[in-house]
Amino acid sequence: MKSLRSSSLARFTNTWLVLALLFPAAGCRSSTDSPPRDLTSTGGTAVTVQLNWYPESEHGGLYQALASGDYANQDLAVQIRPGGRATPIGPELSLGRCQFAIANADDVMIFREQGIDVVAVMAAMQNHPRCVLAQTSSGVQSFDDLGGKTFQRQAGRAFVEFMRAKGLLQDVKEVPYHGSIASLVADPTIVIQGYSCAEPLLARQQGVDVTTLMVSDLGFNPYSSVLVTTGKLIREQPQMVQRFVDATRQGWRDYLSDGKLGNAAILAANSEGMTAEALEFGAQVMRDLAMPEGAEIETVGTMNEQRWTTLFDQLVELDLVHADKVQAKDCYTLQFLK
């Protein structure tokens, strides 16, 4: 997803320890006069969250909730594990190695197609940051201009198959995406997949103006930065799930209002060349994605049946999921968003 797509393996970081170094006397979120909070405390219910990529602004709400004490206020001792290019979100949840994870809504349905009991409990981003980037000098101004170009993408991703079904890749050479903007910067005939909250800034920092084509404009717009867990955990520990969702939603509200604490925590946890400038850029983009068309910040995290049903119908049409294995209603629950 995302920032400096490095080929190195993601290291798993105990964020509690990192934050202890960053904020040895951090106060509560609600008041600068509150007593200092020891963020190294392991009291409360232990919860592990698996990210789907290296820590970036798309995970800002979790790091904000951790740094602000929102999780601690819910009696939760939370560890956030950074992900990487091939993080096995579904298996990690299924094997109980984490209690929650971050994914995209289309991933949730594909996990369930594979027999993994993954359920979405909130969605931070109402609009998806997925985009295709091209050098402005390439002449690409719309998806219809991709003909003759080389497209670096992750094969089999739902958005790629959606573009193919739309006939947008007929005259396009498809090659693997290597997690870097280097080829785009060096060659105007190359276009790459990206996230609007990261790669456009990275390209500009290297002196290249880019055109950003949002995949959501094509009509494929799954929820993003989706908090997922398992049906088993929902059945067995619904109160804990509620506490975690409440704290995470508060973390996102705070991050989108003023993400300084969250960004500082992300910088400490990300070993892939993340910068403060990139996080500030990303947070601004995320505000528009989380609160489109003037939505109020209190609504951050919400989901609805229509969006999930539309996505399900699209994935069935693309032959990525099958109605005899997956039902849209089983992919999400609204019970923790009331």
Q: Where do the domains of the chain lie? A: 15-127+222-330, 130-218
What is residue 136's three-state secondary structure? helix
**Cα 269 off chain centre by:** 16
- Give the per-residue pLDDT at 178: 87
CATH of 15-127+222-330 among 3.40.190.10, 3.20.20.100, 3.50.50.60, 3.40.250.10 = 3.40.190.10
Q: How many CA atoms lie within 13 A of 277 on its CB side?
A: 8
15-127+222-330 and 130-218: identical CATH topology:
yes
- Give the per-residue pLDDT at 43: 66
Backbone angles phi, psi at 136, to 5 degrees: -60, -35
- Give the per-residue pLDDT at 334: 98
pTM of the model: 0.87
pLDDT tens, per residue, the chain with 338 residues: 443 333 222 323 333 333 333 333 333 333 333 322 223 335 689 999 999 999 999 999 999 999 999 999 999 999 999 998 889 999 999 999 999 999 999 999 999 999 999 999 999 999 999 999 999 999 999 999 999 999 999 999 999 999 999 999 999 999 999 889 999 999 999 999 999 999 999 999 999 999 999 999 999 999 999 999 999 999 999 999 999 999 999 999 999 999 999 999 999 999 888 899 999 999 999 999 999 987 999 999 999 999 999 999 999 999 999 999 999 999 999 999 98
130-218 sits in which CATH class?
alpha beta
- Give the per-residue pLDDT at 42: 53
- Give the per-residue pLDDT at 85: 80
The rounded distance, in Å, linking the Cα atoms of 193 and 149 is: 13
3-state helix, strand, coil in the chain (%, to 5): 40, 20, 40
- Give the per-residue pLDDT at 16: 35
